[in-house]
Amino acid sequence: MPIRRALVSVSDKRGLVPFLQALTARGVEVLSTGGTARALRDAGLAVTDVSAYTGSPEIMDGRVKTLHPKVHGAILMRERDDDREALASIGGAPIDLVVVNLYPFEETLRRPGASHDELVEKIDIGGPAMVRAAAKNHARVTVVVDPSDYPSVLAEIERSGDVGHDLRVALASKAFSHTARYDGAIAMYLSSLDAEGGRERYPRALHLAYERAYPLRYGENPHQTGAFYREIGAVEGSLGRAASVGAGGKELSYNNLVDVDAALEAVREFASPAAVVVKHTNPCGVATADSLEQAYRAARAADELSAFGGIVALNRAVDVETAHALVETFLEAVVAPTFEADALKVLHQKKNLRLLETRAWLASDEAARTVKHVSGGLLVQERDNRARGEVEGARVVTKRAPTDEELRALTFAWAVAKHVKSNAIVMARANGPQCYTVGVGAGQMSRVVSVEVAASKSGDLARGAVLASDAFFPFPDGVERAAEAGVTAIVQPGGSIKDPDVIAAADAHNIAMVFTGARHFRH
């Protein structure tokens, strides 16, 4: 059936006027309300007020305007005689297209200083009712909640006068997702209110909204299926909004994406040009330098064996010099804010190298929450954003304080340790403006074994290096082993009952040690 009548009521008016200009030119009648009707009339479009169609005026300052049998009967009417007769009996006419998006509740919620009364007034009633009715009756009615769908809807109408079944189903699915997320946001807000009218950080009801971005070749292992879901509303700069660049041969796998996320989170720690090489979610090499190429070469050199087949994250646009360095080693993927055209020509020589572009750059403290699935539930926590400034404000507990160069290296190593699986030990050095890891011990059941792993990776470069430990040393043995390797300064949280013995071991080897008072476990 051709589109004959459209009901339009939107808060987001992007692209609305040209969309409806094209429809009215095809003879489509437009019913509308309030501010939407005024905006359309101001654009020179012919509009019928919903109140004129229903014969009932808007009441309560517009709180009630579309909740009427002539509206919902016109949307819910099926292509059968009894429905047509029922609608005709009340003087209604079929509505074939519903263009509705809802009061800006979430936008108001994000605005500093928004009052409870303001938020309550942004709870839409008529809008979700019309959207759900149209989505339910998608066999006949087209529902559009997102302005980005106007072109595809218009293209089908211009081709056949109607919208095809497949697109109507897709739009109905999107409509129910739209109202589900909307209701979820309201539920979370109301369930976060405490008895005094304040807001708790973690609401009693948690509603997460995601959409499938693409299927994966398989999950963590080949016998497992998988897909990547993007958070609805994911911000620019996040992995959810990152886009592939060029024609890398294979699709990104489940494990690739887990590693890309780990690398991206780590490289966001640094303001100067930085590179992170990740293998199995752990940084195996991290460096900062005056140029991106220097940073990458230093990060790769920290553990060239592990870098083979790794994931690289960079925090600057990839230039041609860095590209030449990247193609020297087999890598699974590179993620960066953007890639210069000449760099892409070089990188595309590697057939199976996947390139991801985040476009914008997202600071690590802009994402406020992490979610981890466990059997039958979720663990939700504030994102760990506290490493910055902790070393500079740390308490010197040994006879010797760190030198300026040691302090720079300790600050760098501490930021890296936050991204290494516990028990985490990071050995690093500073050389002028450059800082770089020389050895990383990750995921060991004993902290002293993590020290031994890091020392083994560092080799001779451990002599004169500094060490960061994500949690306290329970015994002096970790410090003793670090001293044997040649470490000169240590940063750790402190807080063990053995702290006096640990400090004494550091003093015995002239190691400078500082306590931050904060730990950074990553499980």
Could you list the active site residues?
Answer: 136, 280
Return d(Cα 224, Cα 238) in angstroms, integer: 26
CB atoms near residue 107 (< 10 Å): 12
CB atoms within 10 A of CB 477: 18
C-alpha 103/C-alpha 499 separation (Å) is 57
Look at the block and give the residue holding tokens 């760098």.
412
**Is residue 430 within 8 Å of 405, Cβ to Cβ?**
yes
Evaluate the CA torsion angle 462, 463, 469, 475 in order and state its sign: positive
DSSP-derived 3-state class of residue 355:
strand
Give dist(CA 124, CA 133) in Å, integer: 15
Cα–Cα distance for residue pair 259/402, rounded to 1 Å? 34
Residue 470 contacts residue 422 (beta carbons within 8 Å):
yes
Task: Give the whole-angstrom CA distance, residue 277 versus residue 300.
Answer: 7
Distance, CA of 5 to CA of 121 (rounded, Å): 29
Give the dihedral sign, CA 437/441/447/452.
negative
Q: What span, in angstroms and rounded, lies between the C-alpha atoms of 422 and 341?
A: 39
The string of DSSP letters for 266-284 reads HHTT-SSSEEEEEETTEEE
Sequence-ordered list of residues with C-beta below 8 angstroms from that of 61, at least 6 positions apart, any chain: none
